[in-house]
Amino acid sequence: MGFTRYHHIDTGDPRFRAVWPELVRDTRRIVEAAEARSVSVRGGWGSGPPTLTSEPIVLRDTPIGLGEREFPSGVIWLNGDQELEEDCETFGIWPEMNDRQENWFTKTEHCPYDVVVSAVLLRLKALAPEAARIGSDFWDDDGDAWSDGTRLLVDAGLAAGRPDESPDR
């Protein structure tokens, strides 16, 4: 049990496929803005740099023994900093993800990298609203689970705004 962000992406939707490279570029800007706030963003296992690419890539040598994993259209793969004990579950999005499972979630336990996960999901919803549904199991003091992510989007120079349709509302 813990704080969780939810997302369902229709990766077969051509609108999602069309914005995928832009989402990866925007995620790089989001990570840079988070790091300017002193939020440590690492690779999916809590170490090294995050993997943010729309090019084919193979991730190897996972610490939990998954071997290698191929991402033919790239991947957004990130976590908090394990050394600082600011990591939890890996946040990942990739165009082939629905080949395995339809509904996805990431438990962030309110670790600092949660603001990045929030901002990426908000950006995804803004870029491909018909192809993505997002949600969370938390509301902050303002009654809003997305305000930190919205502020990070502004810091990243990306259009801010709430998703038109979120399971949180």
Spatial distance between the Cα atoms of 87 and 79, rounded to a whole number of angstroms:
6
Q: Which amino acid would we find at residue 9?
A: I
pLDDT digits (tens, 9 = 90+) for 48-83: 999 999 999 998 766 555 678 889 999 999 999 999
pLDDT digits (tens, 9 = 90+) for 95-123: 988 654 456 888 998 899 999 999 999 99
Evaluate if residue 36 carries a pLDDT over 50.
Answer: yes
Spatial distance between the Cα atoms of 78 and 52, rounded to a whole number of angstroms:
8
Question: Could you tell me which residues are beta bridge partners of residue 52?
Answer: 76
pLDDT value of residue 137 = 82
pLDDT value of residue 167 = 41
Angstrom CA distances, 168 to 97, 130, 165, stand at 23, 16, 8
pLDDT value of residue 127 = 95
pTM: 0.88
Residue that is written with structure tokens 């192809």 in the block: 131
pLDDT value of residue 98 = 66
How far apart, in Å, do the first and last CA atoms of the chain sit? 22
Evaluate if residue 41 carries a pLDDT over 60.
Answer: yes
pLDDT value of residue 57 = 93
Domain boundaries, the chain: 4-40+86-155
Of 125, 126, 85, 120, give the one whose Cα is nearest residue 106.
Answer: 120
Element (H or E) spanning 71, and its range? strand 69-71
pLDDT value of residue 169 = 36
DSSP single-letter state for residue 30: H
DSSP single-letter state for residue 143: S
pLDDT digits (tens, 9 = 90+) for 137-150: 866 555 577 889 99
pLDDT value of residue 162 = 47
